[in-house]
Chains A and B, each alone.
Chain A
Amino acid sequence: MVARDKPALNACRNLEEDLVLYYYGELSEGALSNCEAHLKNCEACRASLAEMRSLLPMTAAHDEPPPTFWNDYSREMRQKLDLAADRKPWWQSIAGLFAPIPMPALATGALLLLALALTFGKGFWQPSSPAPVDDTLLEVLPMAERLEFFSDMEILDNLDLLETLGGQGRGTA
């Protein structure tokens, strides 16, 4: 393999993709005849095609492992398949956590229900507390009592007056 001295001729731009497909035998009938007609008259495209024919087969990596490699391959594959077959899907692993154990499960469920009922049903079981007393009323009541007192006092004052008046009246008769 010798490094090439002269620069590569570029294929005609509009035919570059068709040349690749031509190389791989993937052109439709109409495009194939157009391409072949063009190649007869275009040195650059012919050179591009020749370059592909020279270069592209070289890119395939030729690795031919020995028979022992394939024996190992098959053995490892069987081991990996064994592991995969034993592995449960994720949803089965989770479902396994809830495997039925009758009595303890029932008891646990009952306890859970009780706890939920006590937590969220608290308001239903407590006696209703008396309605809160209006603070304004509390302030006003003593004042009202005092007013009553003062009105009583007024009457008492008037009683004295009435007694005085009454005494005077009995004197003149």
Chain B
Amino acid sequence: MAAIPTAQIGDEELVASAQKGDRRAFEELVERHKQKAYRIAFDFARDREEAKDLSQEAFLKAFTHISRFDGRSGFYTWFYRILVNVCLDYRRRAKRAPAEEYNETVEHQVEPSHVPANPVAPDQHAIAGQLSRKIGAALDTLPAKQRMAFILKNHQGLSIREIAETMETAEGTVKVHLHRAVTALRQSLAEFA
């Protein structure tokens, strides 16, 4: 009987195999979720290398603690939780870094990887760059949990319930985080609205 290709196996089955020591099963989980994990980490860190390190760190923690996954939530919710905590820890460490380093990192690391259909005029490109830096700075001023709730809702499209489960908090708390984050961003970025 031919082996079922891993691509056709569900996450829960892959996790069960990984819990029994099947490395390839966990590597398949990484392949399935790496882009999503990277995007969340990038939204948080706004630096390509940091985002790669953060998402890989989250995968490593998931691998090390895979035996603790009990299946009560989906694998990705459980993994999201690990990723969120890794990003929040990063934020606590990065708080000590001066703001100038952050802006410089964003400017040098965020490069468009595709050529747009209608090339942007140089002045508009400069404005877009300025906006990107301004957005980055505005997001950076948000407290870590507000920022995370905002990223998970605004950028990743998770529901309030899913965010509450991921951040291990009440739905009401998530709504408050979201409201405060949006209010703060609107004040910071009002000139670009």
B102 in the interface, Cβ–Cβ < 8 Å? Answer: no
Interface membership of chain A positions 60-93, coded 1 if the CB is closer than 8 angstroms to chain B and 0 otherwise = 1101111001100110111011001100000000
Q: Is the CB of B56 within 8 A of A26?
A: no
**Chain B, interface size: which category?**
35 or more
Residues of A near B138 (CB, < 8 A) are 59
Minimum CB–CB distance for B139 against chain A, Å:
7
Minimum CB–CB distance for B89 against chain A, Å:
18
Q: Is the CB of A58 within 8 A of B153?
A: no
Q: Is the CB of B179 within 8 A of A81?
A: no
A49 to B63, CA, bound (A): 43
- Interface members, chain A 1-34 (any B CB < 8 Å): 1, 3-4, 8, 16-17, 20-21, 23-24, 26
Among residues of A, the one whose C-beta sits closest to the C-beta of B53 is A76
When A and B form their complex, what is the total count of cross-chain residue pairs whose Cβ atoms lie within 8 Å?
115
- Interface members, chain B 144-163 (any A CB < 8 Å): 150, 153-155, 159-160
A52 in the interface, Cβ–Cβ < 8 Å? Answer: yes
Q: Is the CB of A80 within 8 A of B155?
A: no
Q: Is the CB of B179 within 8 A of A61?
A: no
Among residues of A, the one whose C-beta sits closest to the C-beta of B185 is A59
Give the interface SS of chain A, mostly helix, strand, loop or mixed: helix
Q: Is the CB of A84 within 8 A of B193?
A: no
Residues of A near B176 (CB, < 8 A) are 17
Q: Is the CB of A58 within 8 A of B192?
A: yes
Q: Is the CB of B23 within 8 A of A81?
A: yes
A51 in the interface, Cβ–Cβ < 8 Å? Answer: yes
Minimum CB–CB distance for A51 against chain B, Å:
5
B7 in the interface, Cβ–Cβ < 8 Å? Answer: no
A69 to B114, CA, bound (A): 14
The answer, among A1, A63, A74, for a CB contact under 8 Å with B131, is: A1
Q: Is the CB of B190 within 8 A of A77?
A: no
B186 in the interface, Cβ–Cβ < 8 Å? Answer: yes
A51 to B135, CA, bound (A): 15
Residues of B in contact with A (beta carbons under 8 Å apart): 23, 26-27, 30-31, 34-35, 38-39, 42-43, 46, 48, 51-52, 56, 59-60, 63-64, 110, 112-114, 127, 131-132, 135-136, 138-139, 150, 153-155, 159-160, 175-176, 178-179, 182-183, 185-186, 189-193
Some 19 contacts from A to B, beta carbons below 8 A apart, are A1-B192, A3-B191, A4-B190, A4-B193, A17-B175, A54-B193, A56-B154, A56-B185, A58-B131, A58-B189, A59-B138, A60-B43, A60-B154, A63-B48, A69-B48, A73-B38, A74-B27, A77-B34, A77-B56
Residues of A in contact with B (beta carbons under 8 Å apart): 1, 3-4, 8, 16-17, 20-21, 23-24, 26, 48, 51-52, 54-56, 58-61, 63-66, 69-70, 73-74, 76-78, 80-81, 84-85
Which 3 residue pairs are nearest across A and B when measured between Cβ atoms?
A17-B179, A51-B193, A60-B155
